[in-house]
Amino acid sequence: MPEEAKLYHVLPDKAVQCDLCHHFCRIRAGRSGFCRARINRGGKLFTLSYGRPVSIGIDPVEKKPLYHFLPGTRTLSLGTFGCNFRCGNCQNWEISQSSGEGMELPFRSPDSIVQEALDAGCPSISYTYNEPTTFAEYALDIMKPARSNGLKNIWVSNGYMSDHCLNAVEPLLDAINIDLKSMAESFYRRICSTLQHPVLSNLKRLVRSNAHIEITTLVIPGFSDSPEMLRRLAEFIVNELDPETPWHISAFAPEFSWKMTDSDATPAETIECAFEVGKKAGLTYVYDAFNHQDTFCPQCGTVVIHRSGYTILRHDMNGCCPGCGKTIITLG
Ligand code: SF4
Ligand code: SF4
């Protein structure tokens, strides 16, 4: 049986309004929200994905990606189905664009997820793979016992949650990676079927919270690879957020995408160009999938973490640079 949702309110004629994300879907009886994971049954909103993870795995925290939070540790990662975006480039589209229909998904209680993380020796739980906003009630019910058992809570998100949702999540959130997909509103409308400004507002809010924050941008040839747009994006992070916010530049692989299989893969030189744009804009920590994965101390230049892919090859620090003592990493 699906759980009744918490963040919604009732409208006339058995309609409801979901208050979880900036779509604020008004849903008539018998219909689902934009994300396909919430349904109005008889004038009440139900969350279809509560307790029904599609995928649970143990990943390096670097894969989220988070490079400055508990480096070198593993994180119990789970995702359900549904998403409040419809990105043509989505690589998890088989779950993100699903309503769960036809999936055999045994119920997993929040406490059993926390126990699994503890048994596996993971210091954190990541809500990832699909958009955690769409299963916020389930995530929150895991985040509470996770916190009381000393585990950290990590969201990997598109940043489209409402203020109501963030008010509930923020006190339990330890780290978040948000996709900032483009500075062009038209990209969000065309590629994701959403608006851009709520993502920018949430980034500004989260950077003032206690949660550690990192940002990822996927560079898609012809869609989000213009040096001018990337410059504006990097300057937004520098000027409106914090120049020390780590920025991850990722490369597009068309063969795994939902609707953009005819697009080109991102060339290495485009990624290098984005890296240069980020550094020139004044970002302290810029990473990419090809050449720039190490963490350098911005004060004295010491290589404090040497990485290859998701693997840490050398890690000489305890949160601070061994050369000059600058704080670089959040150890939780
Ligand atoms: S989470 Fe967002 S997309 Fe899903 S029903 Fe609620 S408002 Fe709509
Ligand atoms: S790329 Fe992310 S935000 Fe976009 S549809 Fe896929 S899961 Fe949702």
Centre of ligand 2 to C-alpha 191, Å, is: 10
Cβ within 8 Å of residue 115, ≥6 positions away: none
**What does the pLDDT look like over 18-59, one tens digit per residue?**
999 999 999 999 999 999 999 999 999 999 999 999 999 999
Shortest-distance ligand to the CA of residue 161: 1
Shortest-distance ligand to the CA of residue 6: 1
The confidence band for 252, taking pLDDT boundaries of 50, 70 and 90, is: very high
DSSP string across 282-332 = T-S-EEESSS---EE-TTT--EEEEEETTEEEEE--SSB-TTT--B--B--
* Token pair recorded at residue 102: 């036809």
Centre of ligand 1 to C-alpha 36, Å, is: 8
Which of 27, 36, 38 most suits a substitution to test ligand 1, by most atoms within 8 Å of the C-beta? 38
Residue nearest atom 4 of ligand 1, based on CA coordinates = 35
pTM metric for this prediction: 0.97
d(CA 54, CA 99): 11
Strand arrangement, sheet containing 311-315 = 295-296, 303-308, 311-315
How far are the Cα atoms of 108, 138, 201, 218, 221 from residue 47, in angstroms, in the given order? 14, 9, 26, 30, 36
Residue 310: per-residue pLDDT: 86
Ligand 2 proximal residues by C-beta, below 6 Å: 83, 85-87, 90, 92, 96, 130-131, 158, 192
d(CA 158, CA 179): 5
Is the Cα dihedral 102, 106, 112, 115 positive or negative? Answer: negative
Residue 288: per-residue pLDDT: 95
State whether residue 48 is helix, strand or coil: coil
List the end-to-end C-alpha distance of the chain, in Å, as a whole number: 36
Instruction: Confirm or reject: Cβ of 258 under 6 Å from ligand 1.
Output: no
Among the CATH numbers 1.10.260.40, 3.90.1200.10, 1.10.760.10, 3.20.20.70, which is that of 55-292?
Answer: 3.20.20.70
- Which atom of ligand 1 has the smallest separation from the CA of 136? 1
The confidence band for 332, taking pLDDT boundaries of 50, 70 and 90, is: low
- Which atom of ligand 2 has the smallest separation from the CA of 84? 8
Instruction: Confirm or reject: Cβ of 48 under 6 Å from ligand 1.
Output: no
Query: Is residue 317's pLDDT more than 80?
Result: no
Q: Domain limits of the chain?
A: 3-47, 55-292
What average pLDDT does this structure show over 278-286? 98
